[in-house]
Amino acid sequence: MAQVVVTGGGGFIGSHLIGALLTRGDEVTVIDLCEDIPWRLSHLSGRGNLRYVAADVRDRQKCEEAIPGSCSKIFHLAAVVGVRNYCSDPLETIDTNIGGLRTILGAALLRGSKIIFASTSEVYGKNSKVPLGEDSDRVLGPTSIDRWSYGSSKAICEHMLFATHRKHSLPMVIVRLFNAYGPRQKPIFAIPAMIDEVVNGRGPRVYDSGEQTRCFTFADDVIEGILRASERPLAEGQAFNIGSSQEITMASLARKVIDVGGKSGELEPRFVDTKGIYRSYEDPSRRVPGVSRAKEVLGWAAKTSLDTGLRKTFEFVRMEIDQERG
C-alpha cells in the first residue's frame, strides 16, 4: 500500500485514475479546486483510503499541508484544459499550469516524491510530420494566437521537470496524452460534445472543413498507460506518448458518433466556422502519436477500438439521463 497524491483529481482523467489507485489499495489524497467532493468522485466518496482536500494547486501552504510527508508519488493532473478555456483566458491557463507545477515541484523535492506529469499532445503544436515521436520538433503558431498558450505552458512545465530531474535527481516521468475520451468527460471536448448533441437530436458540430485528423484514446487505456509509466524504473526521466494510432478525420468521427448513437439517416454533421467562435485560433491538420517508446519501455499500447469506446461512452451518458429522469 502506497501513499499517493492526485492533483486535479476531480477531473475526467483524475477520477478514472483515482478509481484504479483505490482498487489496488493505495492511500489516495486528492487535491482539487472544488470546495465539495466533485460529482465525478461521488461514487468513490465512501472509500476509507480516499482523502479529499479543496485547494488551488498554486497555493503552496495548502498543498504543503495536504501532501503527506511519506507520499511516494504525485500524479500532477491539475491544469486549465479544454480549447474553449485556454482560448478565453490564456493568462489563467499559463499561470495555473506553470504556477501549479512550481508548487508541486517544491513539495516533491522536500519529500523525495516521484512526479508523474500529465502533459499533452498540444506540445507538438501544428507539426504535421506524423507519427509524432517524443523527440519530434515542436511547431507552434504565433504568440498572438491564444490557442498555443496551453501547449506552450505544458512545454515549459516539461522543461522544468527535465531540468529538475537532471539538477536534483528528482524522480519523474511525463505522459503526453492524445485526445482522451470516455465516461464522465464534460461536453466541452470533441467526443462528449458530439454525443451530447446526438442524444438531444441534433447533428454534431464539426469545425471548419472537418478534414483535420486526430487519434482518440479511451480512458481505460490512458489510465493503464499512466500507471505503467509510474511503475517502470526504465521510464524515469522520460516522456511517453499515450495515445491510440487509429487516425480519423473530425467529419468521419461525427458520422461515426451518429451511427453508434443509432441516428444514421436522421442526423448529419453541422459544419461551423471557428472564426465565429474564437478570436484567435489555429487547428493542426493532423495529429498522430508515435508509440514505439511506450511499447518498448512500458509494454503499453491502446487496446480499445474507437467503436467500442464510443459505445461504452454512449451507454454511460444514457445511464446518466435515465438516472436524472428517475
For the annotated catalytic residues, the residue numbers are 150
Burial class from Cβ neighbours inside 10 Å (0-12, 13-18, 19+) for residue 102 reads middle
Q: Find the helix or strand (DSSP H, E) in which 28 lies.
A: strand 27-32
What CA–CA distance (Å, rounded) separates 56 from 8? 9
What CA–CA distance (Å, rounded) separates 300 from 225? 6
What CA–CA distance (Å, rounded) separates 108 from 114? 7
Measure Cα distances from 206 to 37, 255, 271 in Å. Answer: 34, 10, 5
Instruction: For residue 139, give the DSSP letter.
Output: B
In the block, which residue shows the cell 506552450? 152
DSSP 179-231: SEE-TT--TTSHHHHHHHHHHTT-PPEEETTS--EEE-EEHHHHHHHHHHHHH
What CA–CA distance (Å, rounded) separates 168 from 166? 6
What CA–CA distance (Å, rounded) separates 165 from 258? 46
Please, which residues have CB within 8 angstroms of residue 138's CB and are 6 or more apart in sequence? 123, 124, 125, 127, 151, 155
Which three three-digit cell numbers place residue 152?
A: 506552450
Four-CA torsion 296, 299, 300, 303, nearest 10 degrees: 120
How wide is the angle at C-alpha 244 spanned by C-alphas 238 and 249, nearest 5°?
A: 130
Instruction: Report how far apart the first and last C-alpha atoms of the chain are (Å, whole number).
Output: 39
